[in-house]
Structure 1
C-alpha cells in the first residue's frame, strides 16, 4: 500500500508543479471543447461551473466500442459487472450501484425495467450515432431530478454533418474469450448509416445495427449437451440485438428542432443446466430441457425545439415517449431432434413513460447574470406479471401488479459573473410526487479563474433517490424464503461536496499539458436495503435503515506532444457503509475502507502510415465492506467481505486507406483475461445459508478477446 500512496502523492505533486510553472509556460488560447450537460446553454468546459469529463468520439473509435459497457470498463470511478442469468451489464460509481447513477440520451433519461435513467443495461445502449459522452460526478439533483446522486452520464448523439451525403458501413468480428466461429461462437456486428443534408436548414440521419453474441461457453457445453452434470448451457448467455435509429432536423438562425426515433430489440437465450430423461422403453431414452428466452422491445421518441422568444429569452423544450416490453418465452427443447415444443410467450414486464423537460433562460440579456427556469414531468406506467416475477398487488399473491408513478418538478438556476474571474451558480428544485412525500434538491457551484490558466471549482448539492419497483412491491414467500418489498419506503437523501483544480498550459516545446485534481465527499441517508427482520424463520424486508459515506481524491494528467497523447488518472476512494439488523438490534461499524484505482491511455499517430496505436489500462484495487449474514453458530452478524484487485487492458491499431474512406481496426480487449473475481467473506455465509466463511466468484466478463473491425465511409457534397 505504501507504493500506491507514494505513486498517488507523486501525481498530486505533479499537478501542483505544473500549475506553478512560470518560465516554461506560455498562454494557451485554443478553443475549448463545448459541453451541454448541466449548462444553461452550450459552452466551453472552461466556462462550466461543473467539472465535466468528456469521452470523445475518438476514444470510442479507439476502443472499437459498440455499446456503453465497452467504454465504461475503462472509466476511472465506474465498475461494470455482468450477469450470467439474464445477460445484463450494470454500472456502479463510487461503490453505489446503478440506481444512483443516471444515464441520459440527449438529456432524456433512458427507460429501464425499474426506473428512468437508472438500472440501465449497458449492453443495450448502442454507440453508433454518438458524438461524445459527458459525465459529471456527484449530485446533479437540481438539473436532473431524482436518482442523480453519484453522477450522470449524458450521451450526445450526432445531428447533421458537414457533407451533403455521408454513407458508412461497418463489419466487426470478435472472439468471446478464445471462442470464435462465424455462426455459433463469438461476437458478430454489422451496422450501416446514411446522413443527408437537403440544404443548409434540413438534415436527416438513418442507421441500423445488429450485434449477435453467441454466448460464452467457458467450461459449459452449449445447448445440445445431453448429460445431466450441470454443464449444459453457457456461462454468459447468447443474445442478439437489433438497433434502428432515425433523426430529422431543421435549423435556421437561432431556431432548432429535431425529432429522434430509436428502436431496440433483444433476444437473450437461457438454456437450463438440468437435463430431463424420458423413458421410452423398449425404445432408447430421449432427453429434453425446459429452456426460456427473454425478448425485449424498446421504442424511443424524442422531439426537441430550441430558440429565442421575444428576441432575448432562450427556450429549450423536449417531449419524449418511451415504451419498453420484456417478454418471457418458455419452451421444451428436445436434445435428440433439436426441436422446440410447448412454446408459451407472455409479457412479464412493461413500462410506458411520458417525459418532458424545458427551460427558459437569458431573462436579463446580460453576460454577467443569467437566470434559468425549468420544469420536468415524468409519468411512468409500469406492469409486472406476478407469475414470472416476485411481485404482489394489494397483499395478494398471484395478482399482476400495475402501478403509475408521477412527478411534476420545477427548478431554477442562476449564474452570476461577480467578475471576469469569479462566478456563482445557485440552484433549487422542488418535486411534487404522487407516490412519496414531495422532495427538493439544492446546489451551489463556484468557479474562480486564477492566473496562468489555473481554474478552481467548488460545488455542493443535495439530491434524492426514489425507491424502485423491486423495493416497493417484491413479494417472494415460500417454505424457505420470506422476502418482501415495502410500499411505505421513503426516498433516500444525499449531500455531495466537490472541490477541483484544473490547469491547461502549453510549454515552450509545443507540448500541451492539463491537470485536474478533485476531492469529493458524498453522504447518503435513509439508504434502502434488504434487512433481516426475523431470524427464525428467516424473513427479509426492504427498509430505510442504512447510511453510506464516501471520500474520493482523484487526479487526471493529460499530455499531448506531436503525435503522442498520454492520459494518466488515479484515485483513492474511501467508503463507509453502516448496516442495521433490525431483528437483532445490531449496528455495524462505520469504518472507512479505502481502495486505490488507476486508469491510463496512450496513443501514437504514425502519420506516414495513417496508423494510430492506442493502449488503455485500468486498475481497481482491493475493495472491502461489511455485509450482513449468519455465522456457523446460526447467529446474525456483520462480516468483512473482500473483493480482490484486478486490472483491465485494451489495445488497438487503426489504419486508414484511400483518403480515409476505408478504415481497419484490429485489437484486443481484457488482455489480462479477467473473467471472475474472488470475493472472500470472513466469518459468515452471507444470509440464510451461512457456513462460517465463504469464497465466491463475481462474474466480470468473458476474458481476453480479439476483434477486427472494417469500416467504409463515403462523404461527398
Structure 2
C-alpha cells in the first residue's frame, strides 16, 4: 500500500509540474456535454458541479453488458454482489444503495423496493447508452429525496448519423475457470436496429439476452444428490431478457422522445439441503425444496422539450414504471430431474407514476438564469411480510410526494458564478421536507478552476423500513410507520487545473475534499422485551449518526492516441450505532482507494488496447457483539481488467478479447475482534468469481 500511495503522489506532482511549465498556453474547451443537474446541456467545464463521465468508449473497452460491469472500476464506489439472490447493489462513501440515486434520462429508475434506490445494477443493460454521468454529494434540490451521497444518470442514444443502423453482438465469457457453450459461463446476444425515417423522426428497437449459468466453485450443481451441503451454486444462475423501443422527433427547438423498456429475469435457487421420501410409486427418493425469483420491469418515459412563445425553455417528463418480483417454490426430484408442487407467490412490487418538469431562461441575458421546476411521485408498494406463527400477510401502501424547486445560476463576473437552489417537498407519509444548495465556481488564470458547494438533503424511509415484519421462533423484527426522514448536510471544495501543451497534450488534475453529515439515521434496534414471551423485540428507529470526509485526486493525460487516468481517495467514516443496549465507538475509520486506466489506439491497424485497475483498500467498521460493538476489518483487494479491440472490414466487424479480474479475486478475509480484544478466525466475504476471459463480436451495418 505504501508503494501505491508513493506512486500516486509522484504521478500527481509530475503532472502538476508539467502543467505549470506550460500554463501560459491557450486552453481548449473540453468537448464533453453534460445534462445532469444542469439548467441546460452545457460543456463539462462550465458546470458548477463536478461531473464525472463514463464514456461509451469506456463501456466498449470493458465489454460491459450491465452497470455492475462498469462501476467495479469507479473510484469511491463499491459494487456489492449477493450470491444468495443474484442482486448487485452500489455503495458510495460507505453508504448503501438507499442513499444513491440512479436515473435513466433524468428519470429515477424503479426497483421492487423503491424509486431510484436499491437498484440491482445487473438489471441495467448498457446497449443503447451514450454516456453515464455521476455527481457525488448532496443533490436533493435537483433530484429530490434519497440523492444524499450522489446521483448517476444514464444518457441513452436518441439519434443516428446514418439512415439505417443495425448492430448485432455475441459475447461468450467464462465464469472463473468454468465455461461450456450451453451449460457453463456467460452467454450474451443482442440486436439493435435504428432508423432515421427523415430529418425529424427516429426510431430504435433493441433486445438483449444475458444467460449467466452460475458459478459452482466447490458446489456440485442442481442434480447433485448427496446431503453434504455441496448441492447448488455459489453464485445463482440467472437469465435476463431486456427489450427497448424508442421513438424521437425534433423540429427546430422542439424535441420529443418516448422510451419503453421491458425486463424479464429468472434467478434459480437450488437448496443445499437434500431430503428423503418414500411412496409406493417411486419407492425411496430424494428431493430438494428449490425456488425461483421471477422479476419483471416495465418502464415508460415520455419527454418533451422546447420553447414557448415568450422564449422560455421547458422540459417535461412523464413516466409510468412497475417492477415486481415473484417467488416460485417447487419440489425438485433428483432422480427423475422433474418438478412438482410449483406455486408462484407475489413477493415484492413497486408501481410508480412519476413526472418532473422545468421552465427556465426567464432573463434574456447571459448574466442570470432561473429555473423553476416540479416533481410528482405516486408510489404503490407491496410486500409479503411474515407475521407470528409463520403466517404470511400481504401489505400494500401508497406513498406520494409533490415537490417544487427553484435554481438560479448567476454569472457575477466573467470569472465568478454561483448557483443557489431550494426544494420544498410535500409528503403524504411524513412531515414536509426541504433541501437547499449553493454552488460556486471561480476561474483563475492558467487554467485553474475552483468549485465549492454546500447542500442539505433528506432520505425518506424505504418501504421495507416502514412495513416489514419477520416474526418467528423467538425472533421479532418489524418496520415502523412512525419513522421520520433522515436529514443530511454536505460540503465540497475542488481545485482543477487543465493545460494544453504546444505538442497537443492535454493534462488535467483535480483535487476534491468533501464532508457529509447524516442525522436521524435509521437502523434496527431493541425497543422492548415482551413480558409474556420473554423475547426481545427489534424495530427500525431513527437513532444513529453518520459522518464522512473524503479527499481525492483525479489526474488525466491525453496525447494523440494515448490516454491515461489515475485517481486516489482517502475516506474517513465515523458512525455512532446505538441498538438501545450498547453504543458503538464513533471514531473515524479510514480506507484508501486507487484506480487507473490506460488506453492506446493504433489507427493504422484500427486496434485499441486498454487496461483498468482498481485498488480497494482495507475497510473497517463496527459490528454488534453480545455485549458491545467490536471492530471488523475487510482485507484490501486489487482488480485489473484488460482488453484488445480491433475493427475489421471498414469497421463493420468489431472484435474484443479480454480478461476480467486478472488477479483472480474471489473472496476477501473479514476479521472481527472478539469481546476480549483478540481476533476471531477470519470469515470469507464473496467479492467475485475469479479470473474470467471473454470474446465479443459486434457486427455494424450502417447505410
TM range (shorter): over 0.9
- Find 2:612's aligned residue among 601, 610, 616: 616
Tell me how far apart the structure 2 counterparts of residues 488 and 9 of structure 1 sit (CA, whole Å): 49
The correspondence for 1:592, drawn from 588, 591, 594, is 588
CA contact (8 A) 1:19 1:454 kept: no
Are the aligned partners of 1:391 and 1:473 in contact in 2 as well (CA < 8 Å)?
Answer: no
Q: Which residue of 1 aligns with 2:557?
A: 559
In the TM superposition, residue 28 of structure 1 has moved relative to its aligned partner by: 2.1
Structure-2 residue corresponding to 1:667: 658
Separation in 2, partners of 1:115, 1:78: 20
Q: 1:578 to 1:31 in 2, by over 3 A?
A: closer
Distance of aligned partners of 1:310 and 1:391 in 2 relative to their CA distance in 1, 3 Å threshold: farther
Partner of 2:308: 309
Aligned to 1:374: 373
Match of 2:129 in 1: 130
Distance 1:331 1:581 in 2: 38
Moved more, 427-436 or 11-20: 11-20
Q: Which runs of 5+ in 1 are unaligned?
A: 631-635
Secondary structure, aligned partner of 2:110: coil
Query: CA separation of 1:259/1:13 partners in 2, compared to 1, >3 Å: closer, same or farther?
Result: same
Contact kept? 2:387, 2:471, Cα under 8 Å:
no
Range that drifts further, 7-16 or 166-175 = 7-16
501-510 vs 545-554, which moves further: 501-510
Contact 1:626–1:640 (CA under 8 A) maintained in structure 2:
yes
1:579 corresponds in structure 2 to: 577
The structural deviation recorded for 1:391 is: 6.8
1:633 is aligned to: none
- Residue of structure 1 in register with 2:685 after alignment: 698
Match of 2:96 in 1: 97
Cα distance in 1 for residues equivalent to 2:8 and 2:642: 24
Counterparts of residues 277-296 of structure 1 (less than 5 Å):
277-279=276-278, 285-296=284-295
Matched, 1:439 2:433: yes
Secondary structure of the corresponding residue to residue 20 of structure 1: helix
Q: Which residue of 1 aligns with 2:258?
A: 259
2:178 and 2:341 mapped to 1: Cα distance? Answer: 32
2:17 equivalent in structure 1: 17
1:453-501 Cα shifts (integer Å, max 9, x gaps): 1111001111100110111112112223121211111100111111111
Where does residue 159 of structure 2 map in the other structure? 160
1:501-650 → structure 2 map (5 Å cutoff)? 501-533=495-527, 537-582=535-580, 584=581, 586-630=582-626, 636-650=627-641
- Counterpart for residue 71 of structure 2: 72
- Residues 292-328 of structure 1, C-alpha deviations (whole Å, 9 max, x = no match): 1011110000000000012410000000000111111
Deviation at 1:14, TM superposition (A): 4.5
Pair 1:186 & 2:191 matched = no
Q: Distance in 2 between matches of 1:31 and 1:691?
A: 54
Root-mean-square deviation (CA, aligned residues, Å) is: 2.0
Structure 1 window deviating more from structure 2 (148-157 vs 466-475): it is: 466-475
Query: C-alpha deviations, 1:37-96, integer Å up to 9, x for none?
Result: 000000000110000000000000000000000000000110011111110001100000
Counterpart-to-counterpart distance in 1, 2:189 and 2:73: 24
Separation (CA, whole Å) in 2 of partners of 1:171 and 1:321: 32
SS of the aligned residue for 2:404 comes to strand
Deviation at 1:184, TM superposition (A): 0.6
Correspondence for 2:642 among 638, 651, 676: 651
Equivalent-residue separation in structure 1 for 2:267 and 2:281 (angstroms): 38
Which whole-Å CA distance do the structure 1 matches of 2:334 and 2:701 have between them?
A: 48
Answer yes or no: is the 8 Å Cα contact 1:619–1:646 preserved in 2. yes
Alignment partners' CA distance in 1, 2:669 and 2:588: 21
- Number of aligned residues: 699
Looking at structure 2, the residues matched to 562 and 691 of structure 1 have their Cα atoms a distance apart, in angstroms, of 55
If the length of structure 2 is used for normalisation, what is the TM-score? 0.96
Which residue of the partner structure matches residue 151 of structure 1? Answer: 150
1:714 and 2:701 are equivalent in the alignment: yes
Q: More deviation in 4-13 or 196-205? A: 4-13
1:11 Cα deviation after fit: 5.0
Matched residue, 1:53: 52
Contact 1:100–1:148 (Cα < 8 Å) also in 2: yes
Larger displacement relative to structure 2 (438-447 or 599-608):
599-608
Alignment check: 8 A CA contact 1:459 1:497 kept = yes
Instruction: Tell me by how many angstroms 1:20 deviates.
Output: 3.3
Rounded to whole Å, the distance in 2 between the matches of 1:192 and 1:422 is: 47
Q: CA separation in 2, counterparts of 1:268 and 1:403?
A: 27
Larger CA deviation: 504-513 vs 551-560: 504-513
Counterpart in 1 of 2:173? 174
Find 2:422's aligned residue among 422, 428, 432.
428
The structural deviation recorded for 1:30 is: 4.2
Deviation (angstroms), 1:450: 0.9
- 8 Å CA contact 1:330–1:344 kept in 2: the answer is yes
TM-score computed with the length of structure 1 as normaliser = 0.95
The 8 Å contact of residues 29 and 45 in structure 2, kept in 1 or not, is answered as no
Note closer, same or farther for the CA distance 1:167–1:617 as it changes in structure 2 (3 Å cut). Answer: same
Distance in 1 between residues matched to 2:669 and 2:687, nearest whole Å: 10
Supply the distance in 1 between the matched residues of 2:615 and 2:30 (Cα, whole angstroms): 32
